[in-house]
Structure 1
Amino acid sequence: METLERIQPNRQVMVFILMVFLSQALAEPIRYSVMEETESGFFVAHLTKDLGLGIGELAARSAWVVSDDDKQRLQLDRQTGDLLLREKLDREELCGPIEPCVLHFQVFLETPVQFFEGELSIQDVNDHSPVFPTGEMLLKIPENSQPGTLFPLKLAQDLDVGSNGLQKYTISPNSHFHVLTRNHSEGKKYPDLVQDKPLDREEQPEFSLTLTALDGGSPPKSGTITVRILIMDVNDNAPEFVHTPYEVQVLENNPLDSPVLSVSARDVDAGNFGSVSYGLFQASDEIKQTFSINEVTGEIRLTKKLDFEQIKSYHVEIEAIDGGGLSGKGTVFIDVVDVNDNAPELTISSLTSSVPENAPETVVSIFRIRDRDSGDNGKMICSIPDNLPFLLKPTFKNFYTLVTERPLDREKNTEKNISDMWDIMKNSNIHMIVILKGEEILGIDNKQCLKRE
């Protein structure tokens, strides 16, 4: 890839996207809804009617549909005006736990240029059952534990959301315990085992119970785990973390295996009952892939690269377990600090191959700029050099339109093919598009960044 020369623009185009949008797009987006798992080719809407256009106008004006994530999940039949599904949609794959799940798209008409915003809501169906991370869990309870004591159990996960998601837990009937479903602030539901009567290790040293997780489907789907309960001789004190919750900030470009922080717990018991080991508690796959904790020292280290643009913070549950099986719980809040690690991107949506001489203002190209960083690191300014016979106009959101500034004279400029013109500019060290990121100016030539969708 050729090294791009830094170009100081002679003028900057101020981006008043909202003002332009008001004159070229609908004030409110058009909204549609489909159920997930609907087969490709499904009819979503008749755009000609919904956009208030005439019959055949979508074809005559070269209409097309583009999604915000650059993946073409919708297709437009220009002749009929029908908007169809291009592929089967999986709500969990598209949005994960986020609800509502909305696919944002734009309808673009080339001649003249006009944009319409659209939203496709993906409705959940109950296609997943609650799942526990393991088939069995071991719970150690001291025999002097009092009725009313709560013991956290492993939670199940259900990829469905809303009423189709996990709703409650039950446990097999017994005279010593029942289960309580607890709602967490993050929307998750946790099971707590509640002791109902005193325990006697000599009378019954062990229990084997079945914990069941149920979703809200009709009929409900379920998942189970076996809970083995060992009644232990007395261990008077459980470990307690010195500080909880812990809070720490980590740069997203920190190297692998770098330390995040160290946690510490104390147990006032002596001997084996006072020895403490550390671990992650009820950690998701994402947490287990990203962090590790030293069983002996309590040091948490980074095991996977961080990406602020994907995950901005982590809520990590930790536990300290003593030699008698008692445990103390703690929480670590890890905030990922954004680093300017993404270069601006430029994508050509439309490119005119030639411009007739003496033509009035003509659209040469339509393109979009994007920066995946956040805040000031994601701010961009787009401009062109002053000595080119073109104007750069902000069109819609981060879309720009490049038009001729005045009629071109073939006798003065024999290169009327735009592709050839761009080659001439590149060969003469003139770069047509300039993107500024922060205080850094990046010259972008068509060979490196300009690609046609």
Structure 2
Amino acid sequence: MAESTMEARGERFLRQRQVLFLFVFLGGSLAGSESRRYSVVEETERGFLIANIANDLGLGEGELAVRGAQVVSKGNKQHFQLNHQTGDLHLREKLDREELCGPTEPCILHFQILLQNPLQFITNELHVIDVNDHSPVFFENEMQLKLLENTPPGTMIPLGNAEDLDVGRNSLQNYTITPNSHFHVLTRSRRDGRKYPQLVLDKSLDREEQPEFILTLTALDGGSPHRSGIAKIHILVLDINDNAPEFTQTLYEVQILENSPLNSVVVTVSATDLDTGNFGTVSYAFFHASEEIRKTFQLNPITGDIQLVKYLNFEEMNTYELDIEAKDGGGLSGKTTVIVQVVDVNDNPPALTLSSITSPIPENSPETVVAVFSVSDLDSGENGRIMCSIEDSLPFILKPSVENFYTLLTNTPLDRETKSEYNITITVTDLGTPRLKTQHNITVTVSDVNDNAPAFSQTTYTLRVLVVALASVSSLFLFSVLVFVAVRLCRRSRAASAGRCLGPEGHFPGHLVDVSGTGTLSQSYQYEVCLTGGSGTSEFKFLKPIITNGLVQDTE
């Protein structure tokens, strides 16, 4: 018993020292060492060895398993698999860089290694390297242009662009056109980095000499080997229509809330044509718009109203660039660009992801880690800022750690005899307007330790028992009755305070027999029974017998 008690105290001291060490060095211990970056080429087969985490962390063989290592990634999809025995970190599945990051470069996957005992976070990054697995693709395989025969040389005509899902050198780099004497093509860049072609007229046109041109436009990427996409350009040379439509603005910039209702008018574009009749009638249309733009916006060809036909989501796309064409009845056109900025609203409640929880917790333990969790909010700005809280009346506290991770700790030692179970509600609130919140309930039980000795409610109990036995009743039966009464009293007095007997001690007499042969004892006996307790034990004792000549009057 003494040896097991010493071992328990030693283990408790070790845990106390570990917890103390943990929170003295919380800033460094939880955050781990500097962020490590690994890299992998996209489309690499599953099972690929990324690194040996145990070696990088300086841990021995099997220590990852002992410390309950976990790989924690944002979102529900896990891309990694950790071998706790060897420390090898493998790919769980093929990675598609375009699916993970879209046009963002570099494509970085953030993940953490979570270790227990002591608690430690190690932040890591995986750089997914692009491979040239996509060719440039034009939105339209055939384009038709109409140019007046008096169009001056040097005129630049925008053409529909191609898209390449790859990034960097593997993305679209330039455009070329079939060699000819009248046109050449230039490669231009938009604000967002996308490249588009412009057709340049080098020589005056003569409809009577050549009424049309058919050219091949090629989009090339910078990969090795090159990938390309082509589109046909059909140019019709028109008789003179002196004036092309002109927009009142060459660039429209508007903002719209992401929760705007459908059919809302985003902006109205307007163009005029100085010609009369059919040549002066203007109609509006999207110019080489992507499928996403056509699904999101609708352009009235007569009024120029651009309406919303699909709900916006700032977290998915926050900027749209629309090219609008105004064309008159003679085929001449003018162009403008509309930049639509989506304004974020607080439409995403915070999310809480529980990484680990410890329950039950031994009572009287010092500051102990109860749970580890992370929070996130898809909104941006103040709408995406988060604060966490629990009830002030609970003996627990929240401490932030690396990035958006929090640790729930005991604030004071717990007492199971006072309260054996706690229901903790973690409230996560963002700072947006209106404020949104998420609540997560955790139930923590408190396990018992042997920290209370038995105690009696009185220091001394005295029981006087009248023993009147029949001849057929043995002294053994009477002894059993007395012991039963004593045991019942002991059990009822376990929570009482310790005490000692004050009277002299006696032994249960062995002469309780029918000595007269008349069916009764020759005398009646009274016994004082004493219950004592203290130092974690309780005792039952008989005091001296009290012999009287008649029946006992006091039967307490």
Counterpart CA distance in 2 for 1:168 and 1:239 is 30
- Larger mean CA deviation between 118-127 and 214-223 belongs to 214-223
Question: What is the distance in 1 between the residues matched to 2:207 and 2:440?
Answer: 77
Shift of 1:370: 1.8
What residue is the counterpart of 1:276 in the other structure?
282
| 1:39 Cα deviation after fit | 0.7
User: 1:77-116 alignment to 2 at 5 Å?
Assistant: 77-116=83-122
For residues 189 and 327 of structure 2, the distance between their equivalents in structure 1, rounded to whole angstroms, comes to 25
Which residue number corresponds to residue 432 of structure 1? 425
SS of the residue 2:64 aligns to: helix
Q: Deviations over 1:151-210 (max 9, x none)?
A: 111111111111111112111222222222223332222111122222111122111111
CA distance in 1, matches of 2:438, 2:68: 31
| Secondary structure, aligned partner of 2:334 | strand
Alignment correspondent of 1:266: 272
Contact 2:352 2:438 in 1 (8 A): no
Shift of 1:23: 4.5
Which residue type is aligned with residue 199 of structure 1?
Answer: L
Aligned to 2:145: 139
Q: Which residue of 1 aligns with 2:38?
A: 32
State the alpha-carbon separation in 1 of the partners of residues 142 and 150 from structure 2: 24
Paired residue type of 1:211: L
Contact 1:359 1:408 in 2 (8 A): yes
Is the Cα contact below 8 Å between 1:20 and 1:396 reproduced in 2?
no
In the alignment, is residue 446 of structure 1 matched against residue 452 of structure 2? no
* d(CA) in 1 for partners of 2:175, 2:28: 51
Q: In structure 2, the residue corresponding to 1:376 is in which secondary structure?
A: helix
Moved more, 311-320 or 128-137: 311-320
Structure 2, unpaired ranges of 5+: 1-24, 443-556
Q: Is 1:75 aligned with 2:81?
A: yes
For 2:345 and 2:192, how far apart are their aligned partners in 1? 27
Equivalent residue number for residue 296 of structure 1? 302
Q: Is the 8 A contact 1:240 1:265 kept in 2?
A: yes
Structure 2 CA distance, aligned partners of 1:24 and 1:212? 54
Pairing 1:339–2:345 present: yes
1:16-415 aligned at under 5 Å gives the runs 21-26=27-32, 28-415=34-421
Deviations 1:125-169 (A, max 9, x none): 110111111221111111111222211111111111111111121
Distance (whole Å) between structure 2 residues aligned to residue 221 and residue 441 of structure 1: 48
Between the aligned partners of 1:356 and 1:370, the Cα distance in structure 2 is 31
Higher alpha-carbon Rg: 2
Q: Summarize the Cα distance change of 1:216–1:436 in structure 2 as closer, same or farther, 3 Å threshold.
A: closer
Q: Does the Cα contact within 8 Å between 2:352 and 2:440 map onto a contact in 1?
A: no
How far the C-alpha of 1:250 sits from its partner, in A, is 0.8
Contact 1:61 1:109 in 2 (8 A): yes
Is residue 97–residue 128 contact of structure 2 (8 Å, CA) maintained in 1? Answer: yes
Letter matched to residue 141 of structure 1: L
Change (3 A) 1:437 1:135: closer
Q: Please give the alpha-carbon distance, in whole angstroms, between the structure 1 residues aligned to 2:82 and 2:438.
A: 35
Instruction: Judge which range, 379-388 or 129-138, deviates more.
Output: 379-388
1 or 2 for the larger relative contact order (CA 8 Å, sep ≥6)? 1
Per-residue CA distance 1:322-356 (angstroms, 9 max, x = gap):
11111111111222122111112222111223222
Give the counterpart letter for 2:441 in structure 1.
N
Runs (5+) with no aligned partner, structure 1: 1-18, 416-420, 423-430, 448-453
Give the partner amino acid of 2:368: T
Over 3 Å counting, the alpha-carbon distance change for 1:22 and 1:233 in structure 2 is: farther
Give the paired residue count: 416
Identify the range of structure 1 (344-353 vs 58-67) with the bigger mean alpha-carbon deviation: 344-353
CA contact (8 A) 2:221 2:228 kept: yes
Worse-superposed segment, 431-440 or 115-124? 431-440
Of 249-258 and 403-412, more deviation after overlay is shown by 403-412
Secondary structure at the counterpart of residue 163 of structure 2: coil
| Letter aligned with residue 319 of structure 2 | S
Mapped contact 1:20–1:394 kept (Cα < 8 A) = no
Q: Distance in 2 between the 1:117 and 1:266 partners?
A: 58
Q: How far has the Cα of 1:21 moved from its partner?
A: 4.3
TM-score (norm 2): 0.72
Q: Matched residues in 1 for 2:174 and 2:210: separation?
A: 28
Which contiguous aligned blocks of 4+ residues in structure 1 show a shift greater than 6 angstroms? none
**1:22, CA displacement in angstroms?**
4.0
| Deviation of 1:298 (Å) | 0.2
Percent of pairs with identical residues: 61
Q: TM-score, normalised by structure 1?
A: 0.87
- Partners of 1:442 and 1:24 in 2: CA distance: 26
Task: State the distance in 1 between where 2:356 and 2:158 align.
Answer: 58
Contact 2:140–2:288 (CA<8 Å) still a contact in 1? Answer: no
8 Å contact from structure 1 (residues 251, 336) kept in 2: yes
Give the CA deviation at 1:440: 4.5
Distance 1:407 1:183 in 2: 64
* Aligned mates of 1:253, 1:235 — CA distance in 2: 44
Deviations 1:350-377 (A, max 9, x none): 1223222333332221112222222222
SS in 2 for 1:396: coil
* Residue aligning to 1:450: none
- Aligned partners of 1:66 and 1:138: how far apart in 2? 53
Matched AA of 2:418: K
- Asked if structure 2 preserves the Cα contact closer than 8 Å seen for 1:434 and 1:441, the reply is no
Distance of 2:287 and 2:26 partners within structure 1 = 52
